[in-house]
Amino acid sequence: MPINLELPKKLRVTVDQAHQAAAEIFRPISRKYDLREHDYPVELDTLASLFDGLSEAGAAGAGADGGRKTATKERPEGVIANGGNMQSVVNAIEASWGDVGLMLSIPYQGLGNSAIAAVASDEQLEHFGKVWASMAITEPGFGSDSAAVSTTATRDGDDYIINGEKIFVSAGARADHVVVWATVDKSLGRAAIKSFLVPRDHPGVTVERLEHKLGIKASDTAAIRFENCRVSSDHLLGSPEVDTKKGFGGVMQTFDNTRPLVAAMAIGITRAALEELRAQLTDAGVEIDYDKPISTQTGAAAEFLRLESDFESAYLLTLRAAWMADNKLPNSKEASMSKAKAGRTVVDATTKAVELTGTLGYSERLLLEKWARDSKILDIFEGTQQIQQLIIARRVLDKSSAELK
């Protein structure tokens, strides 16, 4: 199935609107909330109302059901779609160009919402599609090895009782619901890991603390404890059956949705940093010439051209992963490729931008140093650089997780 790399007209409108919000709302308050960690950005309530209106109007990409609107609609064979996944990606690029921490704080647009879209049944999606959900996976005992989940969900009649602790939960104190990964039977291994949607103010749910972080300070990051937290069985997202043949594939579908989104966040910051870097180099008299070999240009110009080529590669990989999801094509490898490339590129680009602009880049007079701090998490959460490369290798070599560790 061919892919056209030019964005369709309907998405250009989305890009223009998202960029306007980033330029007029996010950028002006970016430094303010970087310096006031854990303060809620009240300016985002306006955006929340906008997204709610888009959702009511049936726009893809607004709310938890955004990524499913196109995917579940039957289309004639051969018809190509650009739906909720692509719209979410281009939105994330533009919003993160403004400020990625603020982007992660937009009400009703949490990573948990993408998780709901990935694994919830149609009935659950209709019931839970309007919540604001964070996503709780990481625990004190593990980071990237999601199969090591030790939080338990014990069946008790028509309910499940959840016990465990989750850390580094983005929007964990602000979102009204939490998507929790827990095992329903430790003896059955990875296949028994399920995701549950739990109201944050539910009995047995305690926000233990908020983390102080290197970057994305506008986004709250919480540690949450679940102690004899009882939820009804309909809060288990997707099928309750434990399929040992399918293994870990069910809940891992979540990452096929969220990894291109994280890649999009990285692309937004990378573009912002390269735009600022180019402006500063131009002011300093550095010429960047696309018609001359890199070897004949200054070191600063050659470095900029290298970073720009990496940016283009990450951008195209991310569009491909989102496009495949919209067109019902398996995209696990492509999702990891986009996340790996974009995560590595944004750290490289923002760090080099600080270096090449010297003392100005290291100061708070520009946002470059902030973008360098914000960028590191994008190469870590939703699976580290090393985990992405491992997943890609498994897909390319056709090896299972047991065969290639």
- Tell me the domain boundaries of the chain: 9-128, 133-235, 249-397
DSSP secondary structure string for all residues of 312-369 = HHHHHHHHHHHHHHHTT---HHHHHHHHHHHHHHHHHHHHHHHHHTHHHHHSTTSSHH
Q: What is the pTM of this model?
A: 0.91
> So what's the pLDDT on residue 207?
98
Round the CA-based radius of gyration of the chain to a whole number and report it. Answer: 21
Lowest mean pLDDT among 56-70, 122-136, 147-161: 56-70
**What is the phi/psi pair of residue 4, to 5°?**
-95, 120
Pair 396, 333: CB distance under 8 Å: yes
Lowest mean pLDDT among 13-22, 71-80, 215-224, 281-290: 71-80
Lowest mean pLDDT among 151-160, 272-281, 326-335: 326-335
Rounded to an integer, what distance in angstroms lies between the CA atom of residue 121 and that of residue 57? 22
> So what's the pLDDT on residue 75?
61
Query: 107: which strand partners?
Result: none
Is the pLDDT at 63 greater than 90? The verdict is no
- Choose the CATH number for 9-128 among 1.10.240, 3.10.450, 1.10.1760, 1.10.540: 1.10.540
Is the pLDDT at 62 greater than 50? The verdict is no
Secondary structure element (H or E) that encloses residue 134, with its range: strand 133-136
Do β-strands 221-232 and 205-210 pair in parallel, antiparallel, or remain unpaired? antiparallel
Active site annotation includes 126 = no
Q: What is the mean pLDDT of residues 238-259?
A: 76
Of 139, 165, 303, 382, the active-site residue reads: 382
Give the residue, 120 or 56, on which the prediction is more confident.
120
- Helix axes 299-326 and 249-283, enclosed angle (nearest 10): 150
Q: What confidence category does residue 57 fall into, taking pLDDT thresholds of 50, 70 and 90?
A: very low
CATH top class, domain 249-397: mainly alpha
CA distance readout (Å), 286 to 85, 212, 218: 39, 38, 34
pLDDT single digits (tens) 288-299: 999 999 999 999
Give the residue, 250 or 84, on which the prediction is more confident.
84
Rounded to an integer, what distance in angstroms lies between the CA atom of residue 336 and that of residue 318? 9
Do β-strands 152-156 and 133-136 pair in parallel, antiparallel, or remain unpaired? unpaired
CATH top class, domain 133-235: mainly beta
Rounded to an integer, what distance in angstroms lies between the CA atom of residue 74 and that of residue 125? 18
Q: Does this chain's domain 133-235 share its CATH topology with 249-397?
A: no
Phi-psi region of 344 (alpha: psi -120 to 50; beta: other; left: phi over 0): alpha
Do β-strands 193-199 and 177-183 pair in parallel, antiparallel, or remain unpaired? antiparallel
Q: Which two tokens stand for residue 121?
A: 């049944």
If DSSP codes are grouped into helix, strand and coil, which group holds residue 61? coil
Longest Cα–Cα distance of the chain, Å, equals: 73
Is the pLDDT at 115 greater than 90? The verdict is no
Give the residue, 4 or 242, on which the prediction is more confident.
242
